[in-house]
Amino acid sequence: MHSELKYPSHNMQNALPPVAAPIGPITAPGSARDAVARSMVWTLLESVGLSGVSFVALVVFSRYLSPAEFGMASVALGIVQMLNIPVERLFHDALVQKSVVTPQDADTAFSATLMLGAILSLLCWFAGPAFARAIGQPEVGPILKWMGLSLVAMAFGSILIALQRRAMEFRPLALRSLIGRVSSAVIGIGMAMAGMGVWSLVAQQVLMVALASAALWIMASTRPRLRFHAAECGHLLRFGLPATTYLFAGLGIQRIFVVLVGSMLGSAAAGYFALAFRAVDMLRDVIGGAVSQLALPLFSRAVDNAGRHRAFHAAVRLTSCVMFPVFIGLAAVSQEVVVLVFGQKWLSVAPYVALMSLLTVQFFPRMFSAPLMSAVGRPGLPVVDVLSQVAFIVGGMFAIGHRSLSMAAAVWALRLLVSTPIDMLFLKRTTGLGFIEQWRGAFVPAVAALCMGIAVYAMKRFIPDSFGISLRLVLLVPTAALFYTGMLRLLDKQLIIDVLDFVNAAVIKRKGAVGVT
328 half-sphere exposure, CB direction, 13 A CA radius: 26
For residue 159, the tally of other CB atoms under 10 A from its CB is 26
* Three-state secondary structure call for residue 101: strand
DSSP-derived letter for residue 507 is I
- Predicted local confidence at residue 301, as pLDDT: 63
pLDDT above 70: residue 372 = yes
Question: Residue ranges of the alpha helices (H) in 167-229?
Answer: 170-193, 198-219
pLDDT band at 510 (very low <50, low <70, confident <90, very high): very low
Over residues 433-443, mean pLDDT: 91
Compare 46 and 136 and report the one with higher pLDDT: 136
Q: Is the pTM of this model over 0.75?
A: no
CA distance 60 to 208: 17
pLDDT digits (tens, 9 = 90+) for 184-212: 889 999 999 998 988 999 999 899 889 88
- Return d(Cα 236, Cα 247) in angstroms, integer: 16
- The confidence score (pLDDT) of residue 303 equals 59
Q: What pLDDT sits at residue 380?
A: 66
Among residues 248, 194, 225, the alpha carbon closest in space to that of 82 is found at: 248
Comparing 223-232, 394-403, 450-459, 505-514, which segment has the lowest mean pLDDT?
Answer: 505-514
Domain boundaries, the chain: 27-503
In contact, 257 and 273? CB cutoff 8 Å: yes
Q: Which of 411, 80, 443 is nearest to 257 (CA)?
A: 411
2 versus 441: the higher-pLDDT residue is: 441
State residue 395's pLDDT score: 95
Confidence (pLDDT) at 61: 86
The full length of the chain comes to: 517
Count CB-CB contacts under 10 A for residue 219: 15
- C-alpha 8/C-alpha 152 separation (Å) is 18
Distance of alpha carbon 360 from the chain centroid: 12
